[in-house]
Structure 1
Amino acid sequence: MRTNSPDDNGEVLITLLENLNGEYPVYYVTGEHEEGKYFEDENKYMNEGTKEAYEDKLEELGVIVLNDEKVQLNNRKELINIYGLKEELSGNINIDDRLGKSSPQEVNILLAHTPDHFNEYAN
């Protein structure tokens, strides 16, 4: 089994997506590697335009990239909100400012790269 690592630069994900049948949507949020926080000398995303090119490739494969965005699905009588919280390198989450207030009457799913701010996400 192949796993993603700092040396992979996203190829494992691309290979997986190329082999999925496209029957179900895939949602994606960026992390520190795409944003260039770690492995700066080796990370191909540090080159200008490569982060955008990587996200474009994901979108070509049918992936819905959510960078501080929300999509709303209507599942019969329930509304399902999928929020994508882009990695914030400064550590300032400001979730309501970035994504808006969630509705307790709807199903809300948050995609976030790091669990470090779980308590803030949950409020």
Structure 2
Amino acid sequence: MPHSKEINHRELVDPQSLLDRGECPYTFLAFPASAVDENGLPTNLEARQYIARVQSEGVPIGIWLDTPIEDTGYAFVRPERIKMLHDVLETIEASGEYVSGFASDLSERLLGR
């Protein structure tokens, strides 16, 4: 069942603070950077629901739009939150809410690959 809550854009992690320290965001969902709303969030409903679902479990999520890959934005976590992200993804996949590989498949569709 799709997650019905919205992404809390006020709680998003800023990728620039990581980049300034020489760290790289750990990305888990890609989408066209040109397809975002006024808050810089992806306009695709499935992407929004997925990000909101992960965020609802307490995972600090960020949106990275100014990336090295042309017209590609990412949902990401800080490196120290990778295990937390993976634990949440395992939980929502085990519940049947999302299938394994959902983010990868959605990214491919959104980027037209």
Q: TM-score, normalised by structure 1?
A: 0.23
- Of the two, which has the highest radius of gyration? 1
- TM-score normalised over the length of structure 2: 0.24
Q: Quick check: which one's helix share is greater?
A: 2
